[in-house]
Every structure is written in C-alpha cells, then in structure tokens.
Structure 1
C-alpha cells in the first residue's frame, strides 16, 4: 500500500539519502583515504541514494554539518597526518555543494542524531531547505602511517564560513576527576558497570557472562557488515575470557567488549523539506520520516544519585517512542550505542528489552566490532535504520546515540509512514533532570567511608591503578579517590574481593584523595610528615634567626616560578613555621635580584607531567587557613601571576624600587585562581583590581604603595633588609598579642556590620587576658622596663 503524502506540510523534513564508506588496511583496494575523503565518499553515496542526479541534489544543499573527528575533539590533540582547517567545507567542495552555512558540532557520540534532530527542526522553521550531515574517522590509517616515509599529508586549507561550536566538554570531566585518574571514558564507564553489578547482586562471573551474552549477537551482525572494522564472530565466553590478546583493561572490561577506535569509516545523511524533495523529483519511496526524537543530558558524574543508571537516556528513548505513538515492542529495528556494555544495558533495562531480543539491539554490529569509537558511529546506525525502513515500509526503527560518559543521549524514531512534524519536549524534560536531587561532593575527603563503586585499570605492562567512588560515614558526602600506587592490599580488595559497601579509610592530600583498607594502613603507606624544619630542601632555603624565619624560593634560573615539588617544600616549611612556638615572624622572598616569583612554572605545566598544588595552596599559603603568625613578603623584582598571589596572601609586603606586581594570567590564557581574583579586589579599589585582572598590566612599587598593595618601598636590592626591619618592629610587641590580633581580624573579616564585628565574642581575646605575655606586658610597663615575651 502506497502511503498518502499529499497532505504533508511543504516544510515537513524527510530523510532522502544515506551513505557509508570504509576501508581496511588489508583491503586489496586500500586507498589511504583521509577523514575528509571518507566523509565525501559517504556523502556522494547519500546524494546518489536519492535516485536523482547528484549534481542537481548537491546544488540544493544550503547547510552542511560535520561531526568532529577524535583528533579535533580534545584540546591540544595532534593531527599526525595533518587535517583540514574547515572540515565541513572540505567535504562540501568534494561533493559539488556550495551551502551558505557550515557547522562543526561539539564532541560526543550523540552528535549524529542530535544534528539530524536539529537540522530537521531548522527545515521546519524555514531556515534551511536541505541539510547534509556527515562524519568520518581515519584513525586506523593515521596510526598505521604516521611514521611511514611515504606517509600522506591530509592538511587542507580551505577557509570559508564555519560555525565551530567548540568541544562542548564542559561537565564531562573535571580537573578534580582528572587528578584521580578519570581522564578517559573507560574508567568512568567501568565505575557505572560495577555499580550496576552491585545493584543486581551478581558475582563477577555472573556479570561477565551477562556482558558476553549481550555482545555475542553483535559480533554476528558485524561479521556480515561490509563496513565493519572487525568482522569476526565471537562467542559470549570468548568475549569475556581474559587471555593475552583479550587482556583486562579496566575491571570489568577485557579488551573485546570495549569500543574499537582503529577504523576508517564515514557516513552521511541528507535531510530536506518535502517541498525540496518534490522539486528535485526524489521518489517518495525513498522518503523516511522522523516520527519522534529527543536530546537530553544526564547529571554530571558526581551529581548522579545512582551511578548504576542513566535515567536521562531512558527518558529520552521513552519520550521519542511516545511522540511516535508506538511502544518499544512495536519497533522493527533497534540500534543502541554500544561503546561499552552498560551503554546498551542501561537503555535496554529501561525499555524492558532482553539481551537476546530476536530483533537484535544493533544494526551495524556495535562499536567494539563494527567500530567507530569516534563521535560519528550513530551516523552509520541511522543509515542502516533508514535502509531497513525502506525495505519494510511502515515499520519503525529506533536509534539511540550516547555521548560522554552516559552523559548526553539523542534518540530518533524512523519510518516511511508519513507524519506531520512534532516539536519535541526536550527542554521541559531537561528541566526535570536538572532539578533532580544530587549528593553533595567532598573534594577533600577524610575519614572512614564505604565504597559506592570502583574500578581497577591495567596498563599494558600490567600495572594496576585503583579508583574508588565512596561515601563518607560522617555526612554521606560522595568522594573520588585513588589507591596509592603499590598498595597491594587495597588493590587486592578491589580486584578479588567484594569491595562495594566495604568500609575503607580515605585521606586528602594536595595531590588528591587516597583510599585504603584502614586508618592504620593509611598511616603506614602515607605517613603524616612531622611539621619540623629540615636542612635538605631542594627548591627553597631557610634561615632561622632567633624568632625570625627567612624562607627563600631558590629557583632563580626559572625566575623563582613554582612547580609541584617547590610548592610541596614551601608547604612543608610553613607547616613547620606555624607549628613552632619559638618562631614568631616569617619572611618569604625570592633568590636573586630579578624576581620574587614569576608564579606557576608554565614550562613544567606544559611538559605533561603531573600537576598538583598542596592543600594549603600555592606556595603553601594561598589557601592556608588560620595564619595566626605574620608572614612578610619581601618582593625583589617581579611578582607576576602566582607570585603576586603569594604576596597578596602574606600579611605584609615590603617591596624594593624594582618590584613589579601583576596578575598576568590572562596573557597566557589562564586566570588568577590561586586567590588573586578574590584578594586583589579586597586589597585595592575594585575598578583598579578589575583593570589589573582583565589586562594583566604591571603595577610599580610606588603605585602599589599608593594603592595599599604594599606596606613599604625600599631602595633597590634591599627588600629583604626592609622586611627584616619590619619583622623586628613586630617582634617588639607581644607575639601572643600579634597572634590573637590576627585571629580576631580573620574571625571578623566576613561580618559586614561594624558594631556586630566589634561585639563579636572571641575566645582568643579571653585567652589573651589571662596569658603570661599580658601579665608581663603590664608588669613591665609599670616597672618601666622592656618586657620579656614568652609567647604564652
């Protein structure tokens, strides 16, 4: 029966062409195609799929939208064989199109379906007539030929208009997560997977068998797909049995059940208005309609109440089906994004689909077997779905496209059955998701806790890294922690025992949270350092002169900039200073006459080596609380960026005439996050502070004095001497009074009302009045002699 298409609105969107391309390294006709060439080949197939002259169809395209390749999906990622400066334009030139608009989508496997949803809505609004969406990867070729003498050069400079939407990585991975080993999707999905196993109450063996049973049918589909990168049938047992070739990557994943990124594949979809399709003469039997769709985003990793599920993905699928007016049971075809087993089982659980559903849960063979770990996998799924819909007119097919770490989910329901366009309700659904209750996170976790989920990652040499997400016993806050390298007892618990729900002990450090089996073991493997000065610092020098401590940053060759090791030493020194009752005043300066400190060591930061800052902040000062003994900055030369932030964190500053102050972070694409953005507006007039922060301009010593940024300006080369003189003046007074004064100032700093601040009850003042120094001070005054302070 031929459907009646006469009543369709002219701006109804309809998919009219799909195409795929691929090549494998061992193909007889292997052509070493670039990502652009693969996408163009798929796009030309999509144009031909309309059954209309390709040049005629190409001339009607007014919008092209490209899915990002992996090499342009991460800041700083290299393009080993070169790349196009405008990927969508490179492709449209090859197919003979000249669209007015070119789009490069954000990162994520949801991109193909999301773009199709968006382009269809754009056509409905009348802002486009025909849109070509496409994506591709040439990862296999790039890795194989990167070091070849005759390697191809895929560099293209085409220029032209481009709506580059950026990476879109916000919320997918935080710096805090990265510092705990979660820099990849693999580790995060493993956490979800183990949480799901715990929820189901399954043993490791039972859960592994389930993953194998889920993916074994996928290999059957891949084996028959000419575009599959690994067309090999494997049994359920073979998929999950750990062997030399199927090594464990991250518990519970052996290599065979994770997405395959070594692919050379491209896919494209052409969508246009009914009016345009009729004008071009596209046969109506080629038309496929989008009956339901949705685009939703899950809460960020640490904000999810249940780490074993992604309810947003299920909600998206349910809504798309509801919009289409069908149930999951009425679908003829299903393709669920399958980078890892839980990406499939999460939605299958929600829609009540069994692993052995006779319809299958993939049309391509899935990401571990068909391939396509890049963002464009689901474009292939859409192409297969459209082709199947045409072979069974009136049937329905669902594509579920997942992005991030069970983060972003886009769904489309397709059929040849004509339908009017339905605006989706994603915005209202997203508002519901955003309002879900989220657990509170403890960035710095200390104390007894329980394991909520975990994984153990394995490198190629077999070295294990344990990652735990847990809940603190004291307040149920959630935290992430690493197992200390070499802690075999904790690694054994995670690898062989039953860790979820197990009581463990966590402690925070500047380099992150660490977790182990008990407090006693934590004290053994990461013993607390004693707050005492030592003689063998590598990056600082210390000099003790009676009650005065002089600390010198000793990296003049690096303008006294600080890297993690120097920060740790300064943190240790100031721990000792504040703990030692015989040290009353500290001076911090920089070695040489060029620089107090140039701040963060940017060369070290750019080296790729691990970065961290002590819990007490940059130089052990910028985040330190309870600084109840004075620290004087003796600024000689430049105090730039973090160096200026160090000076701001000190109680007093003495600068020589050569001193220059600046929060220069904006000059290198950073921000003054070590306190400068907070302290400078509190130290100088706000407009001056804003100007300094936004321009990075330098302030001279005299200007800094006028602004109240420094206390004294002294002749060139005498900053340390000037600081010593100021320290001597402080030491004339009672160290107890100095300490209490700083404490009360800190306690009342946040009290806006002056009278309330004056009346603030402080135990420090109570203690002062009965201190030996108070008695000594009054007695000495009465006896007309110099007091002998005891600091108690």
Structure 2
C-alpha cells in the first residue's frame, strides 16, 4: 500500500543508512583490518550515510545483529588469527553503540536479507526502534598471515549478553553425503547445473557458453566496483575455457565461475522506525522502504523432487514481489545471489530474465568477481540497491539472497515510495513446501541404476572423483554414490560418455564375454547407454539417464559401468578365516572360535581397519558349518574394548564402519550362531555396544560397562541407545545413556546385562565354560532356537508369538541332529552332533 509520508504508521521500518568497506592486499595503505574492523568501518559509513549526527544515531541503536564469518560457521572451523567472542558487541563498541540486544545469526548467504526482513518486522511490532546489521570477512588477510611471524592478533573479549543462534546447519550437512565427497559447495551446486543442462538438452559446450554469457556482464560490473576483490573484465569464452589459471573445479565449473572467498570486505545496514528517523532528524531522501519480503527454505538435497531447480527460491521471489505489489518487469535493479551459476539461472528461468537483460542481474559484480564475502555478500547487494533506489526515487530494487545448497532463500524489494509494512505469508508457504512429496532414499544402493545428476571433482594434482545421484531401477529409490579412483571407465562416462573401447569391449575392467552382453544383468543396448526412455534430443555425451551399476559397502556406495568392473575393483573376500590378521587374533579349537581384539595399547579401541577384520572373521564364523560357538574378548587385562578409537577419528583420516556395524556385529541382521562376549576390564562406549550385540556376556569382577559417548559430545549410535533399554530396566538405561554412568559386573549381573561373573582375569575361562555347555547341545537346535527368537521378537502378543509358525521348525524335525538326539536318548549315550 502506497501512502504519503505523513500517513505512515510511526512504527513503519525503513532503511536509513548503508555502508561498505574493503581493502585488498596490494592496496596502498593496506592495514590488515580484522573482520571486526571491516564491519565497524562499514557501520560508520552507514551511520554517516543517514545524513544525521552519527553520534546521536549511534546512541539510539538498541539492537545489533551480525552475520557469521567462515571461521565460525562450522563446528570444526578455526580462526588462525583469533576472533572476537562477541562479534556484534565488538563492532558496536567500535562505533559507540550500547545496544540492549546483540544477535549472531546462523550461517548462510541468506542471512543479511533475512536479518533485514526479521528486524523490519521487529520494528513494525514496536519491539525495537533502531537496528544495526552488519557482517564482514577478512579471509585474504587471514590466509596471508596465518603462518607469518608477525601475524596480527584478532582475538578480543567483550562483555555483554549475546544471542548466538548457532550454525543453522540442520539438514544442510550430512555425514552420509560427506562420506561420498559432497563436502564442498562447488560439488553440490554442480549437481544442480548438470541436472538443468540435461533438462534443457544442451551439450556441455552449449552449457559452458551459457555460463560464460551469464557471467561476462557480471565481470564488467565488478571491474567498475571500487570494493571488488577481482576488478577484471573477462569475456564469456575466457570465463569457461580451462587454463592453468582457470582450472576445472567440479564439472561444469572452472575456477573463474565459482564464488571467490579470498576477500577483505564489510557491509552494514541501519534500520529504524519512521518515528525514530524523525526524532534523529534523518532526511526523508535517505529513507528506503522494504516493500516486499519473504524467507523460504527448500527441501533437503535428497528430498527434492527436481534437482535441476529450486522452486522454493522462486516461490520466495514471487511472494516478495506480490507483497510489494509489483512484478519483476517493474523492478529497476536486480541482484541475484551468484555463488555459482545455478541460483542465478534458477530465478532467471522462472521470470524469463535474459543474461543480457539491460537492467543487469547484479549490482556488485557477483560472488565470483566482486567477491563472496562469506555469509555477508548480500549485505553489499542491499547497500548497492538502497543507493540506486535513492538515485531513482519511486523505483524498485530486488535482492535475492541464497544460502546452503540452494536451500534457503530470502528476498527483499526496496523502494523510496512510502510503503506500509505488510506481513508476508512465508510461514504458510513453508508448510506447503514441507508437504511436497519427496523421493525415497536408499542409503545402501545395490543394483542397476540410472544417473539422475552428477559431477566430477578435479584436484590440483589432476585426480578426478565422480559423484553421482541416481535412481535404482528396481524401485526408483534415489541414492548418492561416488566413483572409485581406479575406475577409468565410469570417469570417462561422466566426462565424455564416449569411452575408449566402448564399442569393442576394451574399457578398464571388462572381461571376455562382456562385449556380447553375457555378464550378469547386461541388457541389449547397455553397451551404448541406450535404455527405455532415452529419446530424441538427448546429446551423445550426456551421462544423465545412462545406466550404471551400484553397490554398497561400509564406506559408502560406489558406481561402475559394469558389475564385472565392480567385482574386479572390490573382489569378495573368501568367507574363510585368514591365517593372520593385523589387528585381531583368531584361534580355532574344534567347534569353538576365539576372537581377540589385539590392540591393548589403545585399550582395544577400534578403527576402520580393525572393524573390517572383525567383520571378516565373523562372516567366516557364521559361514563355517564346523564352527558352532564364538567367543569375543580383548587382549590384556585393562579393557575388553574402549569403543571407537577417538584419536584415530580426530586424525582426519577416512572413517567408516562395515555394513554389519561396529566390530562386524552391531548392525548384523542375522546372527544364527551364539557369540559370547568375554569382558575383561572396561567395556566403554562402542565396547559396551559390542557386548550388548552378543548373545551372552561373561564378565570378570573388574569389568565396567558404560555408554560414555555423551562425555565426548557423541551418542551411542551403534545400537547402545536401542539395545540397552531393552536389556536393563529403562530408568537405569536412561541414567547410563544420559550421564555415562558405569555399571559394575555385579550390577550388570543383577540387571540382566551379564550372564556370569568370574574372578578377576578369568572372564575368558568363564566364557569357555559357558561355550562348552552350549557345545554339549545340538548346534542345529541352538541355531534354530536363535532363529525363532529373532522371528518372534517383534510380535507383541504372547500367544501370537507362541503360535507363530517358522519353517525352521519343519527343518528341525527332519534334521539329522533331531534324529540323533532322540536316538542317543533312547540308547542312553552321548549324542554325536553333525550340525545338519
């Protein structure tokens, strides 16, 4: 609603000041400004930009809000030069403000515009009157001096409360995706651009040309911007042609078209109510209204129906324009968040914006050229938009701010035309988005599949790693997978889709017979990537839609072109005990297998290699008909197992757990033969979870059981939080899980966690005694007893469980062991069991 200035509600929020600051390493007078310094410089500019007395304006500020720097945007991030422990109040102190409220926003490029939207609403509600919003990055300086002898110290302590909203990473960071290489923004965004290219049926060269045409105008804007970190105009061809300086990053991106994080930049925006602006005597010509606004979040990556676009971002843009009462064709200036091409294309596609739109799609020069000032880029876009709006009174400016993996989108529409504050409907729209149908994800992907989208990451050393999101042919479930570094065929498929030897069967790993379609699962047309659904218009070098083969492992999903290649890259280990293992000991004694975790120097804690060996040993045990009982123990007298090797975990080396879980047991679905845990000393964390997964536990009197993960910021995720409440009284389980309380062997016996307690150092002997008792019984009966117990575990009604028919019972009645048992009883002799 358009009003005269006199008709405005006194609480109407307005932007009254904006400021920007920057310095480049090669600038004359370069001062090594800290993030706090740069944000304060921009804040001073914003105060001066009001046209009123800066000291008076500063004294009126009741709220300050800051965006996060990269160095505190992730739990593991570090600040090599130190940082403020209260960034918003550090900046406030620099400009003489004494706010009652200080906010540190969540991470994400949407945060500047989101803060403007949020605090404009706060002012409209009468809960604030003057809010200073700011952010900055000093990554260039930090990287330059991180290891220097004369490095500056950016650490500072500031008293005062701080509303730290945390990282805001829920749904944006996934251990599963990270294990497949989706740890960096270029790889994630490349998935979207490749999916879009396939949807538009463009070749790689055509799409590269489109990216170049999109971003070449951005470089012209950046070249003229005094705050730009890379003020160089480049041609469309130069932007996308790989060179030594413009190396490939993640297909289809080269270095020139991805966000440039090496910047020293700060920006600030000052909001006040109309009443406060009048009291501070801020001239009317400085007032800019937030006429339209919206904040929406896209579904998480694997839950999106279409990976070639972000409809939630488009919905946010449309709604903000609707609130402002204007269309995109009525907007005079546009700044679209441009960390990568995909977010720009996404909005441009929806509104029919051409790369050469005379208004331009950026006011700053964009993140690859102006600079990707971390979470704060859009603060610069807002500052430029406000300045342009003042120069063209009555015009409208559009700012689109993107965060996460095209995940969060905040929009602002700015104008000098007096406008009442209108609440948006983002909450209702978000509920609609959250109800959109989502594909079902296969965490473990096995079988033939088609490529839905992909990228290939390029290392500085020339190493290539392919990442694929695909759909399983059997049930359409979506999965993420990566390639194996040794597999040239799949990398060639993703890079060119016309592999050397494709038509003659000469690709890496192919075997005799594959070229004629004789390998398992091959179909007519597989050799050329033809399949039902591929039709006219597809380009010859298009990997999307091609057929690939997926297989899951403890370390993640892998894709190849052929099953035979998978078999060659990951040959199945024979399910027989090896003569020697590196991290465990195995001892076979008749029908008994003894397995010892042999890492006493690490209290028998487990790292991936030890887990793999235990997994193999138990695979062999369950597959061997002559092994009837297994005992698992730990070397030495200090610990059965201290659980996960935290020192190894903190080393940064690759982490994985076998598909069968910790120690090859905690996630194993079928354990048809008894496993006895002989617990000597500590069974802590994962060690306790191993014991819980075993059928029987013998502990010596020194044993201690605990789920201690909460003490180190983790949870007992290998079954502890599930099995313990089903083993001991729930209240006791709650206490152990929530406090890390240790349970003695005697307490474990009393509460049903332990079967037997022995003297100190005698747990293994006790386990042998228990195993001997089991071995006196029919191994067939023992095995089928375990099977029926497992089958009926989930049946809540006792009678239903008792009357449950198991085919195993029929097998038992015709088994040799059943006949032998009855015969031996009648003949009054000891049975001679055959396990069949």
TM-score grouping bracket, smaller chain normalisation: over 0.9
Deviation at 1:122, TM superposition (A): 0.5
Deviation at 1:3, TM superposition (A): 7.8
Task: State the distance in 1 between where 2:644 and 2:828 align.
Answer: 50
Asked whether the equivalents of residues 318 and 351 of structure 1 are also in contact (C-alpha less than 8 Å), the reply is: no
Aligned ranges for residues 80-229 of structure 1 at < 5 Å?
A: 80-229=80-229
The corresponding residue for 2:29 is: 29
Kindly indicate whether residue 429 of structure 2 is the aligned counterpart of residue 429 of structure 1.
yes
Task: State the distance in 2 between where 1:32 and 1:765 align.
Answer: 78
Asked whether the equivalents of residues 107 and 167 of structure 2 are also in contact (C-alpha less than 8 Å), the reply is: yes
The corresponding residue for 1:14 is: 14
Select 2:681's aligned residue among 637, 656, 666. 637
The corresponding residue for 1:275 is: 275
After superposition, give the CA deviation of every residue in 1:486-507 in whole Å (9 maximum; x if it has no partner): 2111111111112111111000
Task: State the distance in 2 between where 1:237 and 1:669 align.
Answer: 50
Select 2:712's aligned residue among 668, 685, 695. 668
Deviation at 1:137, TM superposition (A): 0.2
The corresponding residue for 1:707 is: 751
Select 2:645's aligned residue among 571, 585, 601. 601
- Corresponding pairs, count: 791
Asked whether the equivalents of residues 265 and 373 of structure 2 are also in contact (C-alpha less than 8 Å), the reply is: no
The corresponding residue for 1:382 is: 382
> Helix, strand or coil: the match of 2:19?
strand
Deviation at 1:766, TM superposition (A): 1.0
Task: State the distance in 1 between where 2:478 and 2:321 align.
Answer: 35
Deviation at 1:663, TM superposition (A): 0.5
Deviates more, 1:146-155 or 1:256-265: 146-155
Kindly indicate whether residue 564 of structure 2 is the aligned counterpart of residue 564 of structure 1.
no
The corresponding residue for 1:753 is: 797
Task: State the distance in 2 between where 1:423 and 1:24 align.
Answer: 40
After superposition, give the CA deviation of every residue in 1:522-541 in whole Å (9 maximum; x if it has no partner): 11111111111002211000
Task: State the distance in 2 between where 1:267 and 1:373 align.
Answer: 9
Task: State the distance in 1 between where 2:569 and 2:4 align.
Answer: 74
Deviation at 1:149, TM superposition (A): 1.7
Task: State the distance in 2 between where 1:442 and 1:501 align.
Answer: 18
After superposition, give the CA deviation of every residue in 1:559-579 in whole Å (9 maximum; x if it has no partner): 000001100000000000000
| Pairwise CA RMSD | 0.8
Deviation at 1:158, TM superposition (A): 1.0
The corresponding residue for 2:252 is: 252
After superposition, give the CA deviation of every residue in 1:569-603 in whole Å (9 maximum; x if it has no partner): 00000000000000000000000000000000011
Select 2:777's aligned residue among 707, 726, 733. 733
Deviation at 1:74, TM superposition (A): 1.1
The corresponding residue for 1:651 is: 695
Deviation at 1:77, TM superposition (A): 1.2
Asked whether the equivalents of residues 136 and 373 of structure 2 are also in contact (C-alpha less than 8 Å), the reply is: no
The corresponding residue for 2:576 is: 532
Asked whether the equivalents of residues 137 and 372 of structure 1 are also in contact (C-alpha less than 8 Å), the reply is: no
After superposition, give the CA deviation of every residue in 1:718-756 in whole Å (9 maximum; x if it has no partner): 100000000000000000000000000000000000000
Task: State the distance in 1 between where 2:757 and 2:300 align.
Answer: 49
Aligned ranges for residues 508-523 of structure 1 at < 5 Å?
A: 508-523=552-567
Task: State the distance in 2 between where 1:668 and 1:603 align.
Answer: 12
TM-score, normalisation: structure 1: 0.99
Asked whether the equivalents of residues 450 and 504 of structure 1 are also in contact (C-alpha less than 8 Å), the reply is: yes
> Helix, strand or coil: the match of 1:508?
strand
Task: State the distance in 1 between where 2:727 and 2:78 align.
Answer: 43
Task: State the distance in 2 between where 1:218 and 1:111 align.
Answer: 22
The corresponding residue for 1:495 is: 495
Kindly indicate whether residue 586 of structure 2 is the aligned counterpart of residue 542 of structure 1.
yes
The corresponding residue for 2:301 is: 301
Question: CA 1:774–1:595 in 2, change beyond 3 Å: closer, same or farther?
Answer: same
Task: State the distance in 2 between where 1:323 and 1:580 align.
Answer: 70
Kindly indicate whether residue 733 of structure 2 is the aligned counterpart of residue 692 of structure 1.
no
> Helix, strand or coil: the match of 1:6?
helix
Deviation at 1:373, TM superposition (A): 4.3
Task: State the distance in 1 between where 2:157 and 2:328 align.
Answer: 46
Select 1:617's aligned residue among 648, 658, 661. 661
Task: State the distance in 1 between where 2:405 and 2:78 align.
Answer: 23
Task: State the distance in 2 between where 1:484 and 1:528 align.
Answer: 16
Task: State the distance in 2 between where 1:222 and 1:743 align.
Answer: 69
Task: State the distance in 1 between where 2:797 and 2:146 align.
Answer: 66
Task: State the distance in 2 between where 1:3 and 1:789 align.
Answer: 95
> Helix, strand or coil: the match of 1:417?
coil
Task: State the distance in 2 between where 1:144 and 1:292 align.
Answer: 41
Asked whether the equivalents of residues 265 and 372 of structure 1 are also in contact (C-alpha less than 8 Å), the reply is: no
TM-score, normalisation: structure 2: 0.94
After superposition, give the CA deviation of every residue in 1:281-305 in whole Å (9 maximum; x if it has no partner): 0001100000110000000000000
Deviation at 1:150, TM superposition (A): 1.4
Task: State the distance in 2 between where 1:56 and 1:21 align.
Answer: 22
The corresponding residue for 1:59 is: 59
Asked whether the equivalents of residues 221 and 364 of structure 2 are also in contact (C-alpha less than 8 Å), the reply is: yes
Task: State the distance in 2 between where 1:378 and 1:761 align.
Answer: 65
Asked whether the equivalents of residues 22 and 38 of structure 1 are also in contact (C-alpha less than 8 Å), the reply is: yes
After superposition, give the CA deviation of every residue in 1:475-495 in whole Å (9 maximum; x if it has no partner): 000000010112111111111
> Helix, strand or coil: the match of 2:810?
helix
For structure 2, the residue ranges without an aligned partner over 5 or more in a row are: 498-541
Task: State the distance in 2 between where 1:779 and 1:631 align.
Answer: 29
After superposition, give the CA deviation of every residue in 1:221-273 in whole Å (9 maximum; x if it has no partner): 00000000000000000000011110000000000000000000000000010
Task: State the distance in 2 between where 1:289 and 1:191 align.
Answer: 37
Task: State the distance in 2 between where 1:737 and 1:699 align.
Answer: 33
Task: State the distance in 2 between where 1:479 and 1:669 align.
Answer: 29
The corresponding residue for 2:826 is: 782
Task: State the distance in 2 between where 1:244 and 1:586 align.
Answer: 58
After superposition, give the CA deviation of every residue in 1:204-223 in whole Å (9 maximum; x if it has no partner): 00000000000000000000
Task: State the distance in 2 between where 1:542 and 1:3 align.
Answer: 84
Asked whether the equivalents of residues 3 and 419 of structure 2 are also in contact (C-alpha less than 8 Å), the reply is: no
After superposition, give the CA deviation of every residue in 1:153-178 in whole Å (9 maximum; x if it has no partner): 11111131100000011100210000
The corresponding residue for 2:617 is: 573
Deviation at 1:76, TM superposition (A): 1.9
Deviation at 1:4, TM superposition (A): 2.6
Task: State the distance in 1 between where 2:358 and 2:54 align.
Answer: 38
Asked whether the equivalents of residues 108 and 402 of structure 1 are also in contact (C-alpha less than 8 Å), the reply is: yes
Deviates more, 1:517-526 or 1:16-25: 517-526
Task: State the distance in 2 between where 1:681 and 1:4 align.
Answer: 67
> Helix, strand or coil: the match of 1:375?
helix
The corresponding residue for 2:511 is: none
Task: State the distance in 2 between where 1:272 and 1:737 align.
Answer: 80
Asked whether the equivalents of residues 364 and 384 of structure 2 are also in contact (C-alpha less than 8 Å), the reply is: yes
Task: State the distance in 1 between where 2:572 and 2:119 align.
Answer: 58
Task: State the distance in 2 between where 1:759 and 1:255 align.
Answer: 67
Task: State the distance in 2 between where 1:132 and 1:340 align.
Answer: 29
Task: State the distance in 2 between where 1:300 and 1:3 align.
Answer: 41
Task: State the distance in 1 between where 2:86 and 2:443 align.
Answer: 40
> Helix, strand or coil: the match of 1:176?
helix
Task: State the distance in 2 between where 1:786 and 1:3 align.
Answer: 101
Aligned ranges for residues 409-428 of structure 1 at < 5 Å?
A: 409-428=409-428
The corresponding residue for 1:235 is: 235
The corresponding residue for 1:358 is: 358
Asked whether the equivalents of residues 451 and 548 of structure 2 are also in contact (C-alpha less than 8 Å), the reply is: yes
Deviation at 1:372, TM superposition (A): 2.1
Task: State the distance in 2 between where 1:269 and 1:536 align.
Answer: 67
Kindly indicate whether residue 725 of structure 2 is the aligned counterpart of residue 681 of structure 1.
yes
Asked whether the equivalents of residues 339 and 373 of structure 1 are also in contact (C-alpha less than 8 Å), the reply is: no
